[in-house]
Structure 1
């Protein structure tokens, strides 16, 4: 009987809201993977909202690829668009990118942590452990998966600590089994402030069209500021793209909003790496009146189903080749999960005075971006072009926003 090698990891984005040059190659490849993964998730996931981290998924697949061989390794290489022939070539750029993003920065909070939890007594090759420390700075920890409850508590505590308490109780005893030998965990936490602040006094309930004929009330934030905006058209598909920088201008939130008569699915189908690159080059600085929902959404992505959709099948097969991890042949990946929490609210920088000074000048602008219907978003590291988080919001009123936030307004 094959023993499952369970792959589980968590990622969170908190708040509303990297500096030296990172290889453009990884910016492009992560963007390509982001688009592919988004299409796969929307094909297999029935949730209204989609939120995931392409960077987190890239890192965890990279951790697996270090121990994969043969066709198992090749499938991961293809889905990540890797080009090098040696691991040092394939991951040197990613290692630099991770180092850049993880550097201490006073303008925003960012934490990225990887860990391998090994069953006590289970032999893992030293080269695999060394490579994980070298490329991904992975922590190596021992646990006893015979005690399912204790194992879940230990690993969940790591996730909670690394995500500043935003993701709690990530794992339960039901997620593991006595045959589990190794769990790989990737946790990401980001919290930033807007470069231009939304005033809480300018937030009030407003209609949001979830589906045709289905309208809900949500807290809508409002801001008038100078920022980048673009207008795009592809036959009958018309949409606007808005960029909202976080403090320091290293990371930005990019929003894509279809025209009122265009379904969000039509825009999703058009997403490609060249299209996303075009957004970066064709936005212009304008005075814009912005209306953006205030919301908090959590989403758990079944990455196994999504990766199978992308032809990453061998690693989940009982005949997979993970001989770079251990000499034991009867192991495979049985589960892959990513959990994301995202919160968008008014919290911003100290630039309120400058924003306030711009209101009078902007009252005459014709540029308006009103996100009162489903939209796409991504959070991008501007210098490398790497996408840290990506998703779709079709219903911002999914938790207790109606019962608490709207009434509080």
Structure 2
């Protein structure tokens, strides 16, 4: 049986109009996928609904019958669609690219084909049209050389942050096609945190143990909301990136609410409610500097969302190739997420630094316990990244970062 590997490689350092119905479907899929991932991952999580949509969309273009229908239903695609949703995504990325002086946002897709393996011209054309995919030939029989070739491409598209992505062990003698998606985002905060105000403070992990983490502090005027639902209280804070195209949303449960209880309450309707009901207020913010990195195999999560057909030898991917028994062996995604005082290493922000004068603001947002987060495109409300922090990864921090505090 021939195998197809799907890799979605996404990188975000810290931290255009598409249709609103598309954004709502994107959020619904994001929530479904988040809940599925939580079944097997109890600690830090980071993934991209957008990246997953892209790689599944690339399969859907060549799938037929039940395989195609399962992807359509899970991605909330319209039944009579023939790629229109993905052309909207293409317009979204084109609009973003026109404003890149404010941030860095790179999207790249590639199809790596086994030399001599025949893929239908229409499928290659559709991938180039909707996903701007580059078509590259490799010899998967030489697994090490193929791994080096694709890893070099990934490294070049993620500004060197993801190296040696493939070892060659992922490829077998039946590997015929790999779909790779890389997204790289880097942006400064609209209002930076001042490094001199960062202090070591306790962060209480999910198990109740406390760890020392660098806690960034600032007094900012930004969008904020306090919500109370069925005795569950929580706060929502929005931190925009420079240019106002993207923002980070943090959902912080009250101290007596565990993170699992908060996760159960996440719905597309509730997320859209947060976006619309938050108001600009002065907020005293304490937010940990942290890094989260995760490589996910989505096969189990997609199974729970009823995408099963593409993983079996009898699935119909005849829109991709006439080869008899082609199936998907893996759907992988690698994401690196970092939050620091600048938001990124880019040029100085035009935002204004405000000295920290603690205990003066009416609203206090102290993220010293597990929280959820979303990175969204503000004009469309589309979710690019989603995750949770149960333990800021202090082990990967450079010693000088801690010694300076």
TM bracket (short chain): over 0.9
CA contact (8 A) 1:257 1:376 kept: yes
Alpha-carbon offset, residue 397 of structure 1: 2.8
Q: Does 1:94 align with 2:89?
A: yes
- Counterparts of residues 329-408 of structure 1 (less than 5 Å): 329-347=324-342, 350=348, 354-356=352-354, 364-397=360-393, 399-401=395-397, 405-408=401-404
CA shift digits 1:142-196 (9 cap, x unpaired): 0000100000011111111101111111111101112100000000000000010
Alpha-carbon offset, residue 8 of structure 1: 2.0
- Counterparts of residues 78-227 of structure 1 (less than 5 Å): 78-227=73-222
Instruction: Describe the SS at the equivalent of 1:175.
Output: coil
TM superposition score normalised by structure 2: 0.95
Quick one: distance in 1 between partners of 2:136 and 2:249? 37
Kindly tell me the number of residue pairs found equivalent between the two proteins: 402
Quick one: distance in 2 between partners of 1:50 and 1:171? 21
Quick one: distance in 2 between partners of 1:295 and 1:68? 40
Q: Does 1:34 align with 2:30?
A: yes
In structure 1, runs of 5+ residues without a counterpart are: none
Quick one: distance in 2 between partners of 1:88 and 1:301? 26
CA contact (8 A) 1:218 1:402 kept: no
In structure 2, runs of 5+ residues without a counterpart are: none
Q: Does 1:274 align with 2:269?
A: yes
Instruction: Describe the SS at the equivalent of 1:105.
Output: coil
CA shift digits 1:233-260 (9 cap, x unpaired): 1102110000000001111000000000
TM superposition score normalised by structure 1: 0.95
Residue of structure 1 in register with 2:237 after alignment: 242
Quick one: distance in 1 between partners of 2:144 and 2:356? 55
2:294 aligned to which of 291, 296, 299: 299
Instruction: Describe the SS at the equivalent of 1:155.
Output: helix
Deviates most, 330-339 or 395-404: 395-404
CA contact (8 A) 1:240 1:256 kept: yes
Deviates most, 3-12 or 83-92: 83-92
Alpha-carbon offset, residue 93 of structure 1: 2.1
Quick one: distance in 2 between partners of 1:107 and 1:147? 42
Q: Does 1:74 align with 2:73?
A: no
Alpha-carbon offset, residue 104 of structure 1: 4.5
CA contact (8 A) 1:217 1:406 kept: no
CA contact (8 A) 2:249 2:375 kept: yes
Alpha-carbon offset, residue 212 of structure 1: 4.5
Residue of structure 2 in register with 1:5 after alignment: 4
Quick one: distance in 1 between partners of 2:197 and 2:356? 12
CA contact (8 A) 1:204 1:406 kept: no
Quick one: distance in 2 between partners of 1:99 and 1:329? 37
Residues 1:397 and 1:89: Cα distance change in structure 2 (over 3 Å)? closer
CA contact (8 A) 2:86 2:131 kept: no
Instruction: Describe the SS at the equivalent of 1:40.
Output: helix
Q: Does 1:316 align with 2:315?
A: no
Instruction: Describe the SS at the equivalent of 2:165.
Output: coil
Residues 1:120 and 1:325: Cα distance change in structure 2 (over 3 Å)? same
Quick one: distance in 2 between partners of 1:75 and 1:366? 49
Q: Give the root-mean-square deviation of aligned CA atoms.
A: 1.7
Quick one: distance in 2 between partners of 1:37 and 1:385? 17
Quick one: distance in 1 between partners of 2:351 and 2:129? 45
